[in-house]
Chains A and B, each alone.
Chain A
Amino acid sequence: MKAETHFAFFDEGSKKEIRRAIMKAVAIPGYQVPFASREMPIARGWGTGGLQITLSIIGKSDVLKVIDQGADESVNAVSIKKLVHETTGVELTDRTEDADIIQSRHRIPEIALTKEQIIVLQVPTPEPLRGVEAREYITKRMHSEYDYSGAWLILFEQIMKYGKTATAADHPVYVNHRYVMAPSPIPRFDNPKIHQSDALILLGAGREKKIYAVPPYTNVESLAFDDYPFTVESFEGMHCHLCSGADVFLDELIDHTTGETIYQCNDTSYCMERMNENVNEKEKAEVEGSYA
C-alpha cells in the first residue's frame, strides 16, 4: 500500500513556518533566520535546506528546474526533481527561461534570471564567520555588532599565504551594506550575478537550520581589499569544446587517453541550448548522446 502524501510533501503548518522564516529573511537581506529544519526523505547535507524552501513555496502551476553544480541530469538533481514531481505533479524543465523556481546547488545559471523567477540555493555552511569563530552565540553577536574583521582576516591570511585571495567558491559578500553573507559555494564567477539581481534569491541550509535571502535589486558587494580587488575566474582564450561558448563558467576536463585538457560549459542546459540552435537532426542526436 502506498500512502498518499500531502501536496508538496509537507503539512500546511510546516510550510507556513518555513514561509514565515522566508518572509523574515527577505525583510532583513543577508540575515540568517533560524528555522525548524524538517526531517526529509533525503539526507541532511544533500540539499534539504533548498528542498524545504522549494516545497513550501511551490504552487500547482509552477515549473521547476533543479540543477546540481550546473548539471540538470546529475543523480541528486534528478532525485530532488522526482520527489517534488511525485508530491506536487508540477511540470519539470531543463530550460532556464521556462522555470518559475530554480533550485540549484553551487551555480547560478548562465542565462540571466528575470523578476518572475525565484532561485533557491542549497547551502552547506551559512555562517561566513565560522572559520574564525566556532561558537554560534558568538558569531551571532559579531553579526549584531557589525564586527566583520574575522571575515576580512580570512581573506588577509589567504593573501599572506598564496599572494591572492584563494576562495575558490563561497567568497563572502556584503548584502545591502550591512550583513556579511556566505553566498553558498557558487564560484566567484557567479558573485556579480547576485548584485541587483532581477530574481529573488533564497538560500537554505537544512543541516544548519538557517534560511536567508537576497531580495531583488539589492546591492551585493564581494569583500575585497583596496590593493587586492575582487576578481572572477578568468577563462580568457578558452571556449567550450561542444558549443564553443565563451564568457561562461567552464569545466576543465582532461582526456585520459591523450592527456589533453579540454573545456566544457558547466551549465549543461545552456550548452545544449546553444548546440540545438544550429544543428540538424542528425548532429543533434549525436550531441545528446555525448551527455548520456
Chain B
Amino acid sequence: MHEEPVLQVRNLRKQFGPGCRECGQMDNRQLEKNYCTNCGTVYACQDISLDLYPGEILGIVGESGSGKSTLMQCLYFDAEVSSGEAYIKDPKLEGKNVFDLSSQQKRYIRNHSYGMVYQNPVHGLKMNFSSVGNIAEKQIAAGNRNVADMEATSKKLLESVHIPLHRMKEEPQNFSGGMQQRVQIAKALSNNPPVLFLDEVTTGLDLSVQANVLDLIKTIQRELGISMLVVSHDLAVIRMLADRTVVMLNGAIIEEGLTDQILEDPQHEYTQQLVYSLL
C-alpha cells in the first residue's frame, strides 16, 4: 500500500546572516556547531527533508539550538525560509510549493489546515480575551460566522481538555500554566486541522499535568486522526507520543527512523550519547 504524505518538506534551509566565502558552499563549509566563525552567519536549518503521513506523530528531538523550533516556525510561516520547498495535501495546492505562496494564501493555510501549540502560551493565546473567545478566534479565522455553533464547539473542546466550563469566560491570564497550555491545545484543534504542530508543549509543566497533556494529545490523535509534528528535547515525551522520530544536530537531520529503533539502537554517535544520558 502506498500512502501519500500530508506534508512534504524538501531541502528546507534557514540561515541568519548573509554568509561569506568560507561558508557559502553547502558541501565544504567549515562551521563551529552551526555558525560560521568567519562571518557569524548561523545556519539554523540545513537541508531538512521530511514527510508527515496521515494520522502519524512525527517526533523531532535534538539539543537546544539544533534548529527544531526554527524548523517549526518556518513550516508554520512564522519565519521566512532561506530556501526550500514544502507541499501539503490539498487539491487546490497540488504541486505548489507553499513557501512561494502569497502571504494571504499562507494565512489561509494557517487558518484552515494548520494548528500550532507554542511552548509559551503567550504566543498562541490572547491573554486578555476569554478562553472561549480564544478558541472561537481560530474558528472565525477559518470562516465560521455562527456564534452558537462556535460556542458549542469551544465548550466541547474545553471539556475534552478538562477545563471546567464555569471558567470558560475567564481570561487565560488568570489560569495556571498547565491550564493555559490546555486552552492553547483546544484552540489549535478548533478548526479540525489535518496538521498540528506541537513545540515543546510539556516543557515547564509539572509531571502530573505533563501526563495529562500527553494523554490528551494521544487521545486526539487516536480519535481525530490528526497528523502531528512534535518537537521536544525530552526523550520520554517522544517515546510516549511519536511513531517515527528524526534527530537533529546543528541544524541538520542526522538520524531518522521508528522511535523504538532510534531509542533502542541508536546509530549516530550523538544519538547514542543522547539516549544513554537519559535518566
Question: A residues engaging B (CB < 8 A)?
Answer: 132, 141, 144-147, 149-150, 152-153, 156-157, 159-161, 225-228
Question: B residues engaging A (CB < 8 A)?
Answer: 103-104, 107, 111, 126, 129-130, 132-133, 136-138, 140-141, 145-151, 169
A160 to B129, CA, bound (A): 11
Chain A residues contacting B151 (CB-CB under 8 Å) are: 160
Q: Across the interface, do B141 and A149 meet the contact criterion of CB distance under 8 Å?
A: yes
Q: Across the interface, do B133 and A153 meet the contact criterion of CB distance under 8 Å?
A: yes
Closest CB in chain A relative to B103 CB, distance in Å: 5
Listed from nearest, the 10 A-B pairs whose CB atoms lie closest are: A149-B141, A149-B140, A152-B140, A226-B146, A157-B133, A225-B147, A153-B137, A145-B107, A226-B145, A145-B104
Given A225-B146, A227-B148, are A153 and B140 also a contact pair (CB < 8 Å)? Answer: yes
Specify which of A147, A150, A157, A227 is in contact with B130 (CB 8 Å cutoff): A157
A157 to B111, CA, bound (A): 20
Q: Across the interface, do B104 and A146 meet the contact criterion of CB distance under 8 Å?
A: yes
Secondary structure at the B interface, as helix, strand, loop or mixed, is helix
Specify which of B111, B136, B148, B149 is in contact with A153 (CB 8 Å cutoff): B136
15 contacts between A and B (CB under 8 A): A145-B103, A149-B140, A149-B141, A150-B137, A152-B140, A153-B126, A156-B137, A157-B129, A159-B147, A160-B130, A160-B151, A225-B145, A225-B147, A226-B146, A227-B149
A156 to B168, CA, bound (A): 14
Q: Across the interface, do B133 and A160 meet the contact criterion of CB distance under 8 Å?
A: yes
Specify which of A141, A149, A150, A227 is in contact with B146 (CB 8 Å cutoff): A227
A144 to B129, CA, bound (A): 24
Q: Across the interface, do B147 and A156 meet the contact criterion of CB distance under 8 Å?
A: yes
Q: Across the interface, do A160 and B169 meet the contact criterion of CB distance under 8 Å?
A: yes
Chain A residues contacting B103 (CB-CB under 8 Å) are: 141, 144-145
Closest CB in chain B relative to A171 CB, distance in Å: 16
Given A145-B103, A145-B107, are A156 and B140 also a contact pair (CB < 8 Å)? Answer: yes
Closest CB in chain B relative to A249 CB, distance in Å: 27
Chain A residues contacting B130 (CB-CB under 8 Å) are: 157, 160-161
Chain A residues contacting B169 (CB-CB under 8 Å) are: 160-161
Chain A residues contacting B129 (CB-CB under 8 Å) are: 132, 153, 157
Closest CB in chain A relative to B165 CB, distance in Å: 13
Q: Across the interface, do B107 and A132 meet the contact criterion of CB distance under 8 Å?
A: no
Closest CB in chain B relative to A160 CB, distance in Å: 6
Q: Across the interface, do A149 and B137 meet the contact criterion of CB distance under 8 Å?
A: yes
- Chain A residue nearest to B104 (CB atoms) is A145
A226 to B140, CA, bound (A): 12
A141 to B102, CA, bound (A): 12
Closest CB in chain B relative to A232 CB, distance in Å: 19
Closest CB in chain B relative to A177 CB, distance in Å: 14
- Chain B residue nearest to A141 (CB atoms) is B103
Given A153-B137, A156-B140, are A132 and B148 also a contact pair (CB < 8 Å)? Answer: no
Specify which of A141, A144, A160, A228 is in contact with B132 (CB 8 Å cutoff): A160
Given A153-B129, A153-B136, A160-B169, are A227 and B141 also a contact pair (CB < 8 Å)? Answer: no
Chain B residues contacting A161 (CB-CB under 8 Å) are: 130, 169
Chain A residues contacting B126 (CB-CB under 8 Å) are: 132, 153
A141 to B137, CA, bound (A): 18
Chain B residues contacting A149 (CB-CB under 8 Å) are: 111, 137-138, 140-141
Closest CB in chain B relative to A228 CB, distance in Å: 6
Q: Across the interface, do A147 and B150 meet the contact criterion of CB distance under 8 Å?
A: no
Chain B residues contacting A144 (CB-CB under 8 Å) are: 103-104
Q: Across the interface, do B147 and A227 meet the contact criterion of CB distance under 8 Å?
A: yes
A161 to B107, CA, bound (A): 29
Chain B residues contacting A147 (CB-CB under 8 Å) are: 107, 141
A160 to B151, CA, bound (A): 9
Chain B residues contacting A160 (CB-CB under 8 Å) are: 130, 132-133, 151, 169
- Beyond contacts A153-B129, A153-B136, A226-B147: 19 other A-B pairs, Cβ-Cβ < 8 A, are A132-B129, A141-B103, A144-B104, A147-B107, A149-B138, A152-B145, A153-B137, A153-B140, A156-B140, A156-B147, A157-B129, A159-B147, A160-B151, A160-B169, A161-B130, A161-B169, A226-B145, A226-B146, A227-B149
Closest CB in chain B relative to A184 CB, distance in Å: 24
Closest CB in chain B relative to A237 CB, distance in Å: 29
Q: Across the interface, do A156 and B107 meet the contact criterion of CB distance under 8 Å?
A: no
Q: Across the interface, do B150 and A156 meet the contact criterion of CB distance under 8 Å?
A: yes
Which of B103, B126, B133, B148: most chain A Cβ within 10 A? B133
- Chain B residue nearest to A151 (CB atoms) is B140
Chain B residues contacting A146 (CB-CB under 8 Å) are: 104, 107
A144 to B105, CA, bound (A): 12
A210 to B147, CA, bound (A): 33
A3 to B129, CA, bound (A): 54
Specify which of A141, A145, A150, A228 is in contact with B147 (CB 8 Å cutoff): A228
Chain A residues contacting B140 (CB-CB under 8 Å) are: 149, 152-153, 156
A1 to B136, CA, bound (A): 64
A228 to B140, CA, bound (A): 14
- Chain A residue nearest to B111 (CB atoms) is A149
Specify which of A141, A156, A226, A227 is in contact with B133 (CB 8 Å cutoff): A156
A159 to B148, CA, bound (A): 10
